[in-house]
């Protein structure tokens, strides 16, 4: 289950910085292609046994748990139904469940971690330290767990077509009327990564993109040493549906941008997808960092190749509301002085100027009202986006995805 050092027989671990397998005991290092686990040929046929079979339990929470023995210390390793690599909680050595990557469809490629654990934490702090509304307790958070996990992906090619009807509001003279707009077209998706794990939500994994697919290497289980990994557990139907939904989202976003109107909404859609069967199965890297804040678990994701940080963090609502009020007061005072001193002609009392003065005053007031409404609309949209990101960060599914990893 573990690849051993040629010099001292200690378990090797893949180091993202050197891109080599290193031995903590004697300091030796090897390229992945230079070594091979001696135990692989003896253990690739060894299947994991369910906890129900071993202990006779009927606990539904353990239905997806299996027992595998560590080749180094003999301790029991508990893995879920899709794990392909993990760490022994007794001796700390990396373990690869060979039967899951040799007897099932083996990945064709793997993208090795190039971001280390320390670099991932530094990138997270760089990101959150810039947040004006992020509480100090979060900026100084204590990590509950950090896991480097290879996520299974199918990299697909597809042709997507759609025709949509968009409802929007446009100005017609002094009135606002409802209009309907039609948009149709097609998209060619090339090397499009789709998350192949049912446990992790597609919305969370898609935010990790993009990955530099030029860095893919032919699959070698030694890259998994010291990390956790999952195998694909999606059906062709799941894969096709996920590709369709992602493509539909991108198409509708472009279609909405092309329509010049306000309060836009897609009211009908007729999508179609032709998925190329020549798809690639690969494992892509990500760091999962979990911490607790006010009794809630938060999980930050870091792309293990590019270092992109994905998170939505709780924010200081009192500070946000205070700044909104202060900004509103400043804008009101500024508008008053502009209204009174910069445009004095609007206050002319002469009869000849009264009509134009009223028109100018009306236009200025209308412009101010429109500007304030637009400002608050943008603020509300950003708040909705932030809340959505926070919900993803605090989602129980993503926490459970990380929590199941022992070690």
Token pair belonging to 9: 């027989």
Token pair belonging to 391: 């919900």
Q: Residue 260 phi/psi, 5° resolution?
A: -95, 90
Strand partners, 147: 288
The 3-class SS string of the chain reads CCCECCCCCCEEEEECCCCEEEECCCCCEECHHHCCCCCHHHHCCCCCEEHHHHHCCCCHHHCCEEEEECCCCCCEEEEECCEEEEECCCCCCEEECHHHHHCCCCCCEECCCCCCHHHHHHHHHHHHHCCCCCCHHHHCCCCCEEEEEEEEEEEEEEEEEEEEEEEEEEEECCEEEEEEEEEEEEEEEEEEEEECCCCCCHHHHHCCCCCCHHHCEECCHHHHCCCEEECCCCCHHHHHHHHHHHHHHHHHHHHHHHCCCEEEEEEEECCEEEECCCCEEEEEEEEEEEEEECCEEEEEEEECCCCCEECCCCCCHHHHHHHHHHHHHHHHHHHHHHHHHHCHHHHCCCHHHHHHHHHHHHHHHHHHHHHHHHHHHHHHHHHHHHHHHHHHHCCHHHHHHHHCCCC
- Which pLDDT score, from 0 to 100, does residue 109 have? 93
Distances (CA, A) of 367 to 94, 360, 372: 65, 10, 9
Contacts of 22 (CB under 8 A, 6+ apart): 12, 13, 14, 15, 28, 29
pTM: 0.73
Q: Residue 13 phi/psi, 5° resolution?
A: -130, 140
- Which pLDDT score, from 0 to 100, does residue 201 have? 79
- Which pLDDT score, from 0 to 100, does residue 368 have? 60
- Which pLDDT score, from 0 to 100, does residue 164 have? 95
Residue 103 in contact with residue 44, Cβ under 8 Å? yes
Q: Could you give the CA distance from residue 376 to residue 329 in angstroms, rounded to a whole number?
A: 14
Residue ranges per structural domain of the chain = 12-104
Distances (CA, A) of 357 to 284, 364, 365, 366: 65, 11, 12, 14
Consecutive 10-residue runs of the chain (407 residues): their mean pLDDT? 78 90 90 72 52 49 55 60 64 62 73 94 86 73 84 94 94 87 94 88 85 92 84 88 93 93 91 92 91 82 92 66 66 64 52 53 60 60 62 65 59
- Which pLDDT score, from 0 to 100, does residue 213 have? 93
Token pair belonging to 316: 């200081």
């Amino acid at each position: 289950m573990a690849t051993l050092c040629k010099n001292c027989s200690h378990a090797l671990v893949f180091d993202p910085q050197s891109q080599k397998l290193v031995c903590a005991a004697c300091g030796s290092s090897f390229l992945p292609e230079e070594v091979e686990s001696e135990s692989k040929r003896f253990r690739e046929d060894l299947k994991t046994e369910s906890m129900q079979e071993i202990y006779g339990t009927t606990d539904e929470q353990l239905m997806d748990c299996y027992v595998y023995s560590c080749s180094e210390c003999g301790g029991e390793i508990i893995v879920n139904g899709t794990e392909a690599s993990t760490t022994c909680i007794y001796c700390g050595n990396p373990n690869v469940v060979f039967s899951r990557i040799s007897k099932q469809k083996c990945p064709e490629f793997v993208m090795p971690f190039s971001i280390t654990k320390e670099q991932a934490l530094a990138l997270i702090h760089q990101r959150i330290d810039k947040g004006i509304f992020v509480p100090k307790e979060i900026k100084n958070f204590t990590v509950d767990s950090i896991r480097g996990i290879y996520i299974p992906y199918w990299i697909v090619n597809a042709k997507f077509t759609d025709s949509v009807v968009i409802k929007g509001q446009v100005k017609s003279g002094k009135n606002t009327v409802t209009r309907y707009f039609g948009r149709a077209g097609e998209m060619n998706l090339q090397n499009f990564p789709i998350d192949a794990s049912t446990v992790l939500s597609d919305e969370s994994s898609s935010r990790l993109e993009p990955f530099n697919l030029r860095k893919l290497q032919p699959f070698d289980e030694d890259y998994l040493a010291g990390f956790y990994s999952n195998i694909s557990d999606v059906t062709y139907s799941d894969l096709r549906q996920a590709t369709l939904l992602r493509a539909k989202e991108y198409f509708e976003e472009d279609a909405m941008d092309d329509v010049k109107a306000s309060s836009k909404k897609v009211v009908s859609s007729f999508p179609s997808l032709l998925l190329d069967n020549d798809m690639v199965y690969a494992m892509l890297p990500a760091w999962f960092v979990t911490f607790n804040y006010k009794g809630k678990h938060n999980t930050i994701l870091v792309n293990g190749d590019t270092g992109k940080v994905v998170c939505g963090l709780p924010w200081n609502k009192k500070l946000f509301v205070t700044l909104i009020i202060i900004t509103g007061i400043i804008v009101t005072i500024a508008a008053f002085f502009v209204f009174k001193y910069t445009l004095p002609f609007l206050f002319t009392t002469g009869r000849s100027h009264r009509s134009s003065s009223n028109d100018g005053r009306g236009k200025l007031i209308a412009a101010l009202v429109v500007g304030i409404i637009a400002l608050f609309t943008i603020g509300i949209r950003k708040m909705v986006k932030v809340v959505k990101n926070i919900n993803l960060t605090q989602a129980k599914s993503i926490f459970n995805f990380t929590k199941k990893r022992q070690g």
